[in-house]
Amino acid sequence: MRESQKETLARARKIVSRLRTCYPEAQTALIHKNPLQLLVATILSAQCTDVRVNKVTPGLFRRYATASDFAGADLAELESIVRSTGFYRAKSNNIINCCREIEQRHAGEVPRTMEELVRLPGVGRKTANVVLGSAFGMAEGVVVDTHVKRLSGLMKLSHSSTPEKIELDLMGIVPRRDWILVPHLLILHGRNVCRARKPLCGSCAVSRLCPSARPSTLL
């Protein structure tokens, strides 16, 4: 029998508390110095690991420092720099067009609202949430990537299948003050312990709070 909303809320808060202890330094893995760099890095991170993006961005940001630089970038040159992140043609086009919009409509500054961000080429709600949360400290929603989606399902924090519905479910059971933090916690836990191919339930700090944990390995 599915637990009540109140029970899920209480369990979710215990999970967050324990994961916070496990990962006290949880934050975005994408290396950046300003909102524009985080925006570009997040666009590049689609279907690509953060490790790979972080190998590409140092040289990228030395070559292009401002929205104006990206807006005027030679497409072929930009493609050659970001090629290893995959889908480099689409990503390069999105970055250039996104930065042109930032230059023309926002005076070269990354906008600070969800509505304005999702209007930019190549920017969806997930990317907007990353920028708002990690660059501006604004909790407007919850980032849902593959790890967050997978762990939310395993932990039965959401019974939805789409990122949009999963985000709403998490927003309903996690205090707003934790909206920015929770994705970082779940991503780290998904990489380090709750691995897709071989979850380490016996080493999991939240195994007793997870309906999907293997009974014989519970802590």
H or E element that contains 22: helix 5-22
Please indicate whether residue 126 is annotated as part of the active site.
Answer: yes
Distant-in-sequence contacts of 98-107, Cβ < 8 A, 24+ apart:
98/39, 98/43, 98/70, 98/122, 98/123, 99/36, 99/67, 99/68, 99/69, 99/70, 99/71, 100/71, 102/36, 102/67, 102/71, 103/67, 103/68, 103/71
Cβ distance 53 to 44 under 8 Å?
yes
Structure tokens at 52: 């790979």
Of 126, 149, 169, 178, catalytic: 126
Of 50, 69, 145, 156, catalytic: 145
Please indicate whether residue 145 is annotated as part of the active site.
Answer: yes
**Active-site amino acid positions:** 126, 145
